[in-house]
Structures are given as structure tokens and as C-alpha cells.
Chains A and B, each alone.
Chain A
Amino acid sequence: MTNIAPELPPVGLRVPEGGELGQAQPSWRLAMREFAENKLAVAGLAALVFFVLFCYLGPLVYHGSLASDLNSTNLPPGPGHPLGTDNQGFDVLAELMVGGQAALEIGFLSALIGIVIGVVWGAVSGFAGGLLDGFLMRIVDVLLSIPFLFVVLILAVRYGATVLGLSIVIGIFTWQVPARLVRGEVLTLRVRDFVSAARTAGSGQFRIMTRHLVPNSLGVVIVTATFSVADAILAVATLGFLGFGLQYPTFDWGDMLNNGISYLQDGYWWQVYPVGICIIVVVLACNVLGDALRDALDVRLRRR
């Protein structure tokens, strides 16, 4: 977007008549304000918080049956079972709560792994430059070229799927994008004056990287991380739907869908649509959050 009037004072700055300019607001606060004004973003954040509470505090409040009860299989929503039961007698609402735990855990854990490896990789690569940079980035290219769903499926078939295992495998294919972004940011930042100043003041390379370069690159990384959470949740759901995801006794949204679709033609809609809607809402919330964070980051960058 073209900057229409760069000479106007930034938003949030009150300019008293005929006097000194007041304290400039820190850029993070401007970003927060921009974020809060975006109704959709706030709704997305609220939805995510709701789902975290739903999945972790829900089971403490709602004691649905998660034991196999073959007397009450495929019951429609009704008294005792707000969302009915599935083909093994599990209460669908309880399954949704506990299954969401696995989805959220894998989502956040894989995004975390992705950030940690990506930031370190990108910072080292950008700061070092030369042959090491080229080598590290070729490895990034190699991993980016490999279709991630296929590898996850193959590994799930061979070794079985666990929460930790899936998080690690998904994390291994998530760190490349943050690595590239951080490298780009580091390349841009390391020629700036504050880095030369730090070097003149006697900071070593490690200190410059950790104290100056990495914190300034974290903005884009956070944006990518939210999208990574969404992608990871979708991947786990897809894995479960195809039948190769987390199995009983771990509950998982994808697994619920896999069981439920066999009964769609019998009209047991409560085994399929609630799960689907949960997945859509969580992924949508993450995407909306990511977009809003990206816009808020733009605001902050504009004030640099």
C-alpha cells in the first residue's frame, strides 16, 4: 500500500498546539491496537481460547462416557448424550474434548519445534554467509521439495502414530519456512547501523545474533507459526481420516471422522459434522489470527 502522507505524525501521537511532541507510543502497542480493532482477529483468538478451554477443562466439567459401551452405540443426540454416541458407545461430545487435546498438542508442539530449529538455522545461515549459508539453504530446499504428506504417511504406516512422533515428524517439515524468513531478516538487519554499533562496542558474534538479530526477526516467525499450527492440525486430521493416524486409546478428531463416515449413509450425522465443524473452526481461527498478526506486523514495520 502506498504511503500517502509520510510527514503526518504516527497514529496515537497527540500533538499539543505549539509545543513539543509527546512521548511516542512503542510500536508494539500500535500493533496491539491495530489487532484489537480487527473484529475478526479478536473473534479468532477468542475461538482458539475457547477450544483450549473446551478440550482441557471440558472433561473436568462434563463426564461423558469414554468407555466402550456396546449397549448404547449409535444413539442420536438426546438425554445423557448431547451429541449422541458413536459405533463403539463412546459419547461424541466427550470424544470431541479429548480428541481435541491431541490435535492442539500436535499443532502447538510441531509449530514450536519448527520455530526453534528454523530460527537457529536461519540465523546461523544468514549471519555466516558464504559456503555455509549456501549449504544450509540447499538442505532447506531439499526438505521443501519433498511432499510432506507422503513422508508423514509412510512413517506413520511403518512406525505407528503417537502424539510425540507425529509432532516431531511434522516439526521436521515445518522449520524450513521460518528458516528462510529468519535468514532473509538477518541478511537485511546485519548491515544496519545498530549492528555495527554493537560490534564497535565489543559484542561478539553470538551476542549480536542472540541479542539483536533474532529478536528483531521474530515478528515474521510468529506469523508463520500460527499458520503452521493450522497446517499441522489439518495434516493430523487428514492422517486420521485416511486411517493411519492416532489409534485408540488415543482419541483424535481424524480418527472420529474415519469411523463416522462409514455411517453417514445411515444418517448418523452427529458422528461426522460436529467433528468437521470443530476442525474447520480451529483452522479458520488460526488462519485469521495469522493474517491479523501479519497486518499488525506491517503496522509495526511501517513505524521503524
Chain B
Amino acid sequence: MTAYLVRRTATAIVVLFGVSIFIFFMLHLIYPTPAIDVLGSHANRFSINQWNRQHGFDAPWLQQYLHYVGQLLQGNLGYSYKLNQSVAALFQERWLRSAYLAGITLFLSVVIAIPMGIYQAVRRNKLSDSVLTTGAFVTYAMPDFFLYLLAIQLFAITIPIFSYEAPQTTSMISIITDWRAMTLPIVCLTLLELAGYSRYQRSAAIETLAEDYIKTARAKGLPERLVLYRHLLRNASLPMITLVGLSIPVLLAGNLICEAVFNYPGLGLLFYDSLGAADYPVLLAYTLVGAALTIAGNLIADIGLTVADPRIRLV
């Protein structure tokens, strides 16, 4: 198993380098030099070229790439000339809020999806299963922002229970305790994630229910409750490990649309504002972080599954 882990981690690092090449290529294509942002839009060619020479932006691509990677490894994600701040500092201000939103929705959706999927599998094709499956299907097909709009329209405007906007404070304690403003974003995101997870969980539970050891347990006279809890739960939950690993990128890369619609001051809203300002260093650093997290998430999912499922240990 150690050989597998080493091989898998090596692959992840290679892919990470590939991603950095892609991002650098995009950066160079779209935003070759920040000279115009620094010198102003009326700068003439001579001063632009001089600035480029002074700051190394006329060096060959390979040299610029190596410099870029060197900076990345030191933690320098770039500099936003429009906001006059380093990208890393911008991220540092906001990552905790995004992490909280994503973390709590991930936790809630996993905790609800597992029992819900098992319930759907046990009551397969009965009314409750059909209702839940249809609901999951429609939610899955719905564009995210439509659900947010519906929720805001119904529960914040028509029936003013919750606030139509997420908390605008920077204090984490206030955010966590402000249930009026955080409920809608969290509930909507949880529903969206649940729609995807419960389908997997349902089919995994249906497959597991057909296994022989479940039949044996029932034949032994084990109460149904124990059959479900002791045997089904663990085995049917294995796909969730993969799904959770694959959802980690969303954790820190920010739920872009959710934060934009609810005006939640996290990483996603930073990305959205940078889009409007065409602030490419921020946008591309964000994409790189998102890709890195996806790779890490895949790696964790693979390793987690290998650890959790003894049947695939002999890879």
C-alpha cells in the first residue's frame, strides 16, 4: 500500500506542475505585463518597455515561468495592481469566512445524505423514495442561482423571516451566531449538495442491500435496525468518502455564486469583484488555488478510500 501512496502522491505533484504551466500560460496570454496598470493607460511604448525590462517582464517565457514557480513556492501568489495589495493578503482576509460556509454545508449535507440515502434505498420505489428522488433530481437540474433567488423571494421578501443578505461583519463570532442572515445561504447550499450526494448514497445503499451478508444477517434474526446500523451503514458510506474528498476544493475556493448572490464577504465574492475589475493576477491565482485544492481533494479521496476499504488495499 505504501508503494501505491507514493505513486499516487507523485502523480499529484506532476499534475500540480502541469496546472501551474497552464495557469502561467493563461496569465501570459491574457495579462503579459502589469505595466499599463502601474504606469497608467496613457503611458507610451518606450516607458512600458523600460518598465518591462526593469521588472523582468521581457525575459524569455521559460525564465519567467521559473521565476513564477519560485515565487509560488515561497507563498507569493501575485500582486493585485488594482487593489494595491498582495493576493495572498487578500486571500488571508477572507478565507476563514468561505471555509466556515463551505465547512458547515459539507458537514450538514453529509450528515443528512447518509441516512437519507439509506432510507430511500430501504423504502425503494415507495412514495417517500419517489418524492425524495424527484426532489433531488429537480434540485440537481436547477441552476444554483435560481434556488437562491427562490429562497430569497419566498423567505426573505414575501415572508420576511430571514435576511436577504448574508452578514457583512468581519468577526467570525458574529457570523456564526447570526442565524437570521446565515440560514438561507447555508440551507440552500446544503440542499444543492444534498441533491448530488443522496443520489450516490441511494444507489450505493441499494447495491449493498443486495449483498449476501445482509441476507445472512436478516436470516440470523437480527433486528432490522441493527442490520442497517451495523452492516449497511459502514459499507454503503464508502462512496461518500470519495464525494467528500472531491468537494474539498469548494471549501476554500469559495462558493462563487452563493457568495455573489448573498453578498457574503468571502473568497467567492472577491473573485466576482475581480471579474468586474478585470484584475487578472487575483483571478488566476484564485484558479491556481482552486486547482491545487482539487488535486489535494482527489488525493485525499483516493487515499481515504484505500484506507477505509480493505478490499482495494492490494493495489
Residues of A within 8 A of B (CB): 1-2, 138-139, 141-147, 149-151, 153-155, 157-158, 230, 234, 237-238, 241-244, 257, 261, 264-265, 272, 276, 279-280, 283-284, 287-288
Contacts and interface: CB of A to CB of B under 8 A. Distances in A.
B204 to A, nearest CB: 13
Contacts of B207: 1
A264 B23 CA distance: 38
B143 A279 contact: yes
Contact of B137 (A234, A237, A287): A287
Interface residues of B, number: 43
B275 interface: yes
Contacts of B18: 138-139, 141-142
Tell me the interface secondary structure of chain A in the complex: helix
Interface in B1-35: 11, 14-15, 18-19, 22-23, 26, 30
Contacts of A237: 143
A154 B283 contact: yes
A234 B287 contact: no
A2 B143 contact: no
Contact of B141 (A138, A144, A283): A283
8 contacts: A141-B15, A143-B22, A147-B291, A157-B283, A158-B278, A158-B280, A261-B149, A264-B153
Interface of B: 11, 14-15, 18-19, 22-23, 26, 30, 137-138, 140-146, 149, 153, 157, 207, 210, 249, 253, 256-257, 260, 271-272, 275-276, 278, 280, 283-284, 286-287, 290-291, 294-295, 298
A276 B141 CA distance: 11
Contacts of B284: 154
B275 A157 contact: yes
Contacts of A144: 294
A146 B291 contact: yes
A154 B210 contact: no
A145 B294 contact: yes
Nearest to B157: A265
B287 A287 contact: no
Contacts of A155: 30
B271 A157 contact: no
B61 to A, nearest CB: 18
A283 B276 CA distance: 28
Contacts of B210: 1-2
Given A150-B271, A151-B26, 10 more contacts: A145-B15, A145-B298, A146-B23, A146-B290, A147-B249, A150-B253, A151-B287, A154-B26, A158-B30, A287-B141
Nearest to B21: A142
Contact of B143 (A145, A158, A238, A261): A238
A261 B164 CA distance: 13
B164 to A, nearest CB: 9
Contacts of A157: 275, 278, 283
A299 B171 CA distance: 56
Nearest to B295: A145
A146 B295 CA distance: 9
Q: Which among A1, A230, A242, A265 has the highest number of chain B CB atoms within 10 Å?
A: A242
Given A138-B18, A139-B18, A264-B153, A150 B145 contact: no
A238 B144 contact: yes
A276 B287 contact: no
Nearest to A2: B210
Q: Which among B15, B19, B295 has the highest number of chain A CB atoms within 10 Å?
A: B15
A158 B26 CA distance: 11
Contacts of A280: 138, 141-143, 146
Counting from the closest, the 4 A-B pairs by CB-CB distance are A142-B18, A284-B141, A147-B290, A283-B141
B19 A142 contact: yes
